[in-house]
Structure 1
C-alpha cells in the first residue's frame, strides 16, 4: 500500500501544480540541523486536520523521485510508518548511522513526510464522487560537523561579481564558508531598478554559484546585489552588497 501511495503521489504532480492542496500534517521547522556530535535528533510532526492520517517518513540524498525503498542515506527514522490521529503529534527520531561524511563542511540531505489519507467510507466510494491525494512535505536535513563556527556570518561572507556569457548576464557568488547558504530572493539593483534572479538556488560550501538575471542588456557601471538568506530557524535576513566598479 505504501509503494502504491508513493507512486500515486508522483503521478499526481501535474494536477497538484494547478489545483491548490494542503496537507493536514505539518512538520515543525523549515529545516533540520543534525549536529555532528549527536547520534540522533527528534522532529515533531503534528496532525492539524479533522481526520487520522497514515504517515510515512524517509530521507533522500537529493533525488526527490526516488522511492522510500530505494533511497540511501546515512540516516534512519523511527518510526518510519505510523498513524497520527487528529490533534495529535508524534516525535520522530532521526538517527545517524555513522557514515564517513566530510568534517570540514556541511552535507545536505532531505527529510520526506508523506501524509496518506484514509480509505473513503463505503457510501462515499460507491458513488465515485471523491478525489484524494497523498501529500508530501520535503525539508532540508543538514549534517553539520562538530567544530564549525560562525554560521550566522555565512551569508555576509559571500563575495559577488557580475559576469556575462553567451546566455546573458549572471551574478556569480563565491561561498568561502563551510555552510550552505540558503537564498530566498536575489536581484541586481542598478539606479533604483531591480533585475531579479528567479528562484535562486542555495549555494554549497566552499563553492561558486551562477545566478542568471533577467532584463539586463548592457554592463552597468555599478550596482548593488540585493538578496535575502534563510537562517537555521527559518528567519529571513535581507542584505545589500555593492558590486565592484567595472
Structure 2
C-alpha cells in the first residue's frame, strides 16, 4: 500500500506564491509501508532513506494514535529529529514506554508512524518549499496474538460477509486488524459505494454497499503484513458468505501470472 502523504507548507503571501518557482519531490521515505511491533520485541528499527543525490534533509518522526493525534503514552520513536546526508540512510528505533503494558493484550492496537522531511534552506529567493509527510500504519501485536499467526492460513480467511436487507455486513472474528482495499465481483473492480476500510478486531460493520450489487462469489482484496495485496474469494449460501480458500489461491495465482 502506498504511504499516505500530506503536503505541509510554511505561511506565505499570495503575491510571493504567484512569482515563486515550485518544486515538490519526496526525498525521505521509510523502508516499509507498515510497522508490526510484536509484543515480545524490545524495539523495532526503521531505516529512512534520503534519495536526494545532492542535498541533506532533516527527518522529524513521531507516533500518532488511531485518532491521528500525537501520542506519547505507549511508544516513542527516536531520535525525533536527525540529519540524513544525500543518498544515505538514517535509523529510527521505536521502543515501548511504561504505558504500553496497559494496551489490550488480547487484540491488536493501531497507531501511525509519521515522517516529515525538512529540506535545506533554498539558495534562490522566491522559492516555495514543501515539507512532505509520510504516515504509515503501526500495529502493536501482543505476544499472545502473535502466537496465533499462521502463515499458511492467514487470519483474513476467517472473514465473513452477510446480506441484511440491502446492506452487506462484514464480520472480523479475529484479534487482528484487516485492511480491505477492494470489494467487488472480480479482483480489479470495486462495487460502487465501497471505500477502503481498516477493520478493527472483532468488528461487525456494514461495508457501505448494496447487497444487490454483489454476486454469489464476491471478491475482496486485503493488504497483508508486508504491504502486498491478497485476494479472498467468497462463496455465498443464502445470505451468508464464507471464504473459499481453494478459489482464493487460484485467483491469486491467476492474478500473479
State the Cα distance separating 1:162 from its structure 2 match.
2.3
1:57-96 deviations in Å (ceiling 9; x for gaps): 00010333x4xxx533411111110011111101111000
Please give the secondary structure, in 2, of the residue aligned with 1:147: helix
State the Cα distance separating 1:39 from its structure 2 match.
1.8
State the Cα distance separating 1:20 from its structure 2 match.
9.7
State the Cα distance separating 1:196 from its structure 2 match.
3.9
1:133-175 deviations in Å (ceiling 9; x for gaps): 00000001111010221354221100101234xxxx4321110
- Alignment match of 2:115 (pick from 113, 116, 127): 113
State the Cα distance separating 1:21 from its structure 2 match.
4.7
| Other-structure match for 2:33 | 30
TM-score by length of 1: 0.78
Please give the secondary structure, in 1, of the residue aligned with 2:218: strand
| Other-structure match for 1:78 | 78
State the Cα distance separating 1:233 from its structure 2 match.
1.0
Please give the secondary structure, in 2, of the residue aligned with 1:90: strand
Please give the alpha-carbon distance, in whole angstroms, between the structure 1 residues aligned to 2:82 and 2:60: 7
Aligned CA distance change for structure 1 residues 231 and 219 (closer, same or farther; 3 Å): closer
Could you tell me whether the CA contact under 8 Å between 2:64 and 2:71 is conserved in 1?
yes
Aligned CA distance change for structure 1 residues 226 and 40 (closer, same or farther; 3 Å): same
Please give the alpha-carbon distance, in whole angstroms, between the structure 2 residues aligned to 1:170 and 1:220: 10
| Other-structure match for 1:204 | 200
TM-score by length of 2: 0.75
Q: What is the CA RMSD across the aligned residues, in angstroms?
A: 2.8
Could you tell me whether the CA contact under 8 Å between 2:10 and 2:130 is conserved in 1?
no
| Other-structure match for 1:134 | 131
| Other-structure match for 2:242 | none
Q: How many residues align?
A: 216
5+ residue gaps, structure 2, are 1-5, 13-21, 240-257
Please give the secondary structure, in 2, of the residue aligned with 1:109: strand
| Other-structure match for 1:59 | 63
Aligned CA distance change for structure 1 residues 131 and 36 (closer, same or farther; 3 Å): same
1:9-30 deviations in Å (ceiling 9; x for gaps): 5989xxxxxx995411111111
| Other-structure match for 2:237 | 244
Please give the alpha-carbon distance, in whole angstroms, between the structure 2 residues aligned to 1:239 and 1:151: 16
| Other-structure match for 2:103 | 101
| Other-structure match for 1:233 | 226
Please give the alpha-carbon distance, in whole angstroms, between the structure 1 residues aligned to 2:172 and 2:227: 20
Please give the alpha-carbon distance, in whole angstroms, between the structure 2 residues aligned to 1:226 and 1:236: 12
Instruction: Say if 2:45 is the partner of 1:42.
Output: yes
Please give the alpha-carbon distance, in whole angstroms, between the structure 2 residues aligned to 1:76 and 1:85: 23
